[in-house]
Structure 1
Amino acid sequence: MSLELYLDLISPPCRAIYIFAKMNNIHFNYFPVDLLKGQHHSKEFEGLNILKNVPVLREGTFILTESVAILLYLTRKYSTSICWYPPDVQLQASIDEYMAWEYEGLHMLMKKVLWVKLLIPKIMGQEVPKQKIDDIENQIQTNIQLFSDHFLKDKLFITGENICLADLMAAVEMMQPMGAEYNVFKDNPKVNEWHKRVEERVGSTLFQEAHERLLTINSWDPSILEPSVRENILIMIQSITK
């Protein structure tokens, strides 16, 4: 029974799953789903995932969505190194705590800054007001500091001396603004050094491979958008900029 992963590597959770599977020599068939082309709204994809989002894992008739569930499934199914999700219940709780915080604490902010600094101007042909961008950037720096003070503290990684799922997820989230050439690490040397350690453990070649689509997104041409896709994007833009 083959493992299938449906991913768009512009998405941080998808990158985390891609990197994790590659690092742990988990063989999978990779099915790219282009979010910017609206492929996740196709009838074919809806038949796979009614939620119309990525990532998606499929093994035979078993289908799993949501990145945390997928990562935990892979650690258990393929008996990966215990460093990723240690058996110690307190270390597990630390990882769970970060993963519960991540969506509001990092994911939405990192997504917003990519859109307001790059994608919205490309699609709409006009800049987002500077005050809006400044507000998002200020909140990002506040939450990066929270990550440093609460989750990382004085440790090499979130659970101590070894990389875990939370480190991988956090590292790929913090890369998202790089697509808009905004470096969230420059004002926090401790988080910057942590991020370098994560990339080193992953391996620079794999880390860069997983981020290639993000780091070349500036060359994306929004004129190719179909009307229905553009309409969906405009609705999302309204929620981001309100």
Structure 2
Amino acid sequence: MSSLKIYVHPLSQPARAVMLFCRANSIQHEEKIVDLVKGAQHNEEYAKTINPLKKVPVIEHDGFFLKESVAILRYLARTFPVPDNWFPKDSVSQAKVDEYLEWQHLNVRTFGTLYFAEKYIVPRTTKQPPNEKRAANFLKHYIAVLNQVETIWLKDRPFLAGQDISIADLLAAAEMEQTVLGGYDVKENHPKLQEYLERVRGGLQPHYDDVHSMLNKIASKMKATQ
């Protein structure tokens, strides 16, 4: 029997995508939580034996280590018996998934992460308030790329690569959910994206809510204190 371990943390957007993929497809695996809050990714042993880049996610499959979420999701979709919609074998359909994956790095992920880091990570690591001018600039760009998701990637189709959910949607949803911790809730500001995220969530229950439970608890506590 093959052995799959995934090194993740539920506050990491790409790690949540990998967690969701494994759970939704009933892939037998062991989740190894790397406590990002306590800086476990910077431990010498983790860097030496798991990931010298000191990040999550990472998978270990029968002694084979693989880092970077896009590569991991493609590998899992090819290696395990999962429905073809996740990463289709057909070249054209697969290219549509890859098209979004290539685009998202410098767009949704970049600006969403920069905004989240400035509003959430920076104050907690430096004990200083965020630079609101920088945060506002990141948010402006983030909103612009979210508008592109609505008008280009989701134009006339329910999911990013077509009529069915794919690994592209896992990564997109994880990124869009994250910025609530920075005070920007995509679902409250973009009705079309709210509908889209509900489609993704609805097709992945109960795993979607389970994987996002820590993020949602933190967001609820933050909202209660505002």
Q: TM above 0.5, one fold?
A: yes
Of stretches 26-35 and 48-57 in structure 1, the one that deviates more from structure 2 is: 48-57
Q: Which residue of 1 aligns with 2:116?
A: 114
Q: Work out the number of aligned pairs and report it.
A: 219
Q: Does 1:63 align with 2:65?
A: yes
Task: Within 5 Å, give how 1:190-205 maps onto structure 2.
Answer: 190-203=192-205, 205=206
Q: Which residue of 1 aligns with 2:84?
A: 82
Q: In 1, are the aligned partners of 2:112 and 2:139 still within 8 Å (CA)?
A: no
3-state DSSP class of the match of 2:203? Answer: helix
3-state DSSP class of the match of 2:88? Answer: coil
The offset of 1:105, in angstroms, is 0.6
Q: In 1, are the aligned partners of 2:10 and 2:211 still within 8 Å (CA)?
A: yes
The offset of 1:156, in angstroms, is 0.9
Deviations 1:79-125 (A, max 9, x none): 20011112221221111111111121111222222222223223333
Aligned-residue Cα RMSD (Å) equals: 1.8
3-state DSSP class of the match of 1:199? Answer: helix
The offset of 1:40, in angstroms, is 1.2
Q: In 1, are the aligned partners of 2:11 and 2:214 still within 8 Å (CA)?
A: yes
Could you tell me how far apart the structure 2 residues matched to 1:63 and 1:12 are? 20
The offset of 1:60, in angstroms, is 2.6
Runs of 4+ in 1 over 3 A off after TM superposition: 216-220
Q: Does 1:208 align with 2:203?
A: no
Q: In 1, are the aligned partners of 2:158 and 2:164 still within 8 Å (CA)?
A: yes
Structure 2: which amino acid aligns with 1:28?
H
Q: Does 1:40 align with 2:41?
A: yes
3-state DSSP class of the match of 2:85? Answer: coil
Identity %: 32
The offset of 1:217, in angstroms, is 4.0
Aligned partner of 1:164 among 163, 166, 174: 166
Q: Which residue of 2 aligns with 1:10?
A: 11
Give TM-score, length-normalised by structure 1: 0.84
Structure 2: which amino acid aligns with 1:175?
E
Could you tell me how far apart the structure 2 residues matched to 1:152 and 1:52 are? 34
Could you tell me how far apart the structure 2 residues matched to 1:179 and 1:130 are? 15
Of stretches 43-52 and 170-179 in structure 1, the one that deviates more from structure 2 is: 43-52
Structure 1: which amino acid aligns with 2:80?
Y
Unaligned runs of at least 5 residues, structure 2: none
Of stretches 23-32 and 180-189 in structure 1, the one that deviates more from structure 2 is: 180-189
Q: Which residue of 1 aligns with 2:179?
A: 177
Structure 1: which amino acid aligns with 2:182?
A
